[in-house]
């Protein structure tokens, strides 16, 4: 199981220290970008991402929790993002956003909310390198258990890629990632989890080792 550490749960007053101490234990850093409109929070911005880029060589996943995600692709790509994740329902033309992500030299991530099912993004799957399945409502945290629908969405995605060789995306579980839920995500077919407080508020080396054993 791969680890994409959620920097939302890091020490935001000393972010560079948490990036440095966790870099050895994670595969990537998951950076939520929220505009206060698409989700009811305000999080991260290009200059901060550029500073993080200067402190790590790990993959930076930019999760655009924004309206009109296509307008934010280039600023975050220039800041050092490697993979741009967006919600298709946030734009009138997901294809245009995918084209912008590719033109910016980044990999494409598609986010599936708990309000949606896989049919909503099925036509986009051949274009994606990563599909993020939300276990909770976007912009929320502190929830202990994932939605049963999220686990079902992961199962369906896993079945689809097994049946179709054109589909080569990884499945990432985001939200309600706890020590007692990671096994559920793994069993459903997830390849990556996005731990936040589980990683940064506990014993980081021990937690990371426990996740990787699954």
Distance CA 71, CA 44 (A): 15
Asked if the model's pLDDT at residue 144 lies above 90, the reply is no
Total of domains in the chain: 1
- DSSP H or E run through 7: none
Distance CA 208, CA 204 (A): 6
* 172 torsion bin: left (phi>0), alpha (psi -120 to 50), beta (else): beta
Average pLDDT, the chain: 96
Average pLDDT over every residue of 77-83:
98
- Phi and psi at 209, nearest 5°, equal -65, -40
Average pLDDT over every residue of 88-102:
97
Percentage of the chain surpassing pLDDT 90? Answer: 94
pLDDT category, 140, cuts 50, 70, 90?
Answer: confident
Q: Is 146 helix (H, G, I), strand (E, B) or coil?
A: coil
pLDDT of residue 4: 98
| Bridge-based pairing state of the strands 42-43 and 28-35 | antiparallel
- Give the tens place of pLDDT for each residue, 1-27: 999 999 999 999 999 999 999 999 999
Q: Is 144 helix (H, G, I), strand (E, B) or coil?
A: coil
Asked if the model's pLDDT at residue 192 lies above 70, the reply is yes
pLDDT category, 145, cuts 50, 70, 90?
Answer: confident
Distance CA 214, CA 201 (A): 21
Distance CA 128, CA 169 (A): 6
pTM: 0.96
CATH of the domain at 12: 3.20.20.70
- Locate 207 and state its tokens: 């937690």
pLDDT category, 142, cuts 50, 70, 90?
Answer: low
Distance CA 125, CA 166 (A): 9
Q: Which range marks the domain in which residue 66 is found?
A: 2-212
């Amino acid at each position: 199981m791969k680890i994409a550490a959620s920097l939302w749960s890091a020490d935001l007053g000393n972010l560079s220290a948490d990036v440095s101490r966790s870099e050895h234990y994670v595969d990537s850093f998951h950076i939520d970008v929220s505009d206060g409109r698409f989700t009811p929070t305000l999080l991260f911005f290009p200059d901060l991402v550029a500073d993080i880029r200067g402190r790590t060589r790990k993959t930076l996943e930019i999760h655009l929790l924004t309206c009109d995600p296509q307008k934010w692709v280039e600023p975050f790509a220039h800041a050092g993002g490697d993979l741009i994740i967006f919600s298709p329902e946030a734009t009138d033309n997901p294809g245009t956003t995918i084209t912008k992500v590719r033109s910016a030299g980044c990999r494409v991530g598609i986010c599936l909310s708990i309000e949606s099912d896989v049919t909503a993004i099925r036509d986009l799957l051949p274009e994606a390198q990563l599909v993020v399945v939300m276990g909770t409502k976007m912009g929320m945290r502190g929830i202990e258990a994932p939605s049963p629908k999220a686990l079902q969405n992961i199962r369906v995605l896993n079945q689809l890629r097994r049946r179709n060789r054109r589909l080569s995306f990884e499945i990432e579980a985001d939200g309600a990632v706890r020590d007692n839920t990671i096994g559920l995500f793994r069993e459903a077919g997830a390849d990556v989890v996005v731990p936040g407080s589980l990683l940064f508020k506990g014993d980081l080396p021990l937690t990371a080792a426990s996740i990787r054993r699954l």
